[in-house]
Amino acid sequence: VGRSSKDWQRELGLNYYSSKTMDTAIRKFSKKNCVNIIKALRDFDAASKGVGAVNADSGELTKELVSTILYYN
């Protein structure tokens, strides 16, 4: 909270342009949205490996993942 771009850059070992991308992402995504997107990625990973998914087509899984990410965007 209240950290500058230089703080993020130094702590994460990012170059100037990466730190600008990080600043944009921090403003765009809330903590709750990030958690939900990470959960969607974990669910996709499990389903792509056959866990809890019956005859899951990789194309359908990918469409679902993308739509979920866009929803939380």
Cα→Cα distances 30→50, 54, 59, 72, Å: 30, 33, 28, 9
Predicted TM-score (pTM) above 0.85: no
Chain segment 7-60, per-residue pLDDT in tens = 767 887 888 888 788 778 878 888 898 899 999 999 999 988 888 766 778 888
DSSP three-state, residue 58: helix
Residue range 48-73: average pLDDT? 84
DSSP three-state, residue 51: coil
b/e code 48-70 from CB counts within 10 Å (16+ = b): eeeeeeeebeeeebeeebeebee
Q: What is the pLDDT of residue 63?
A: 92
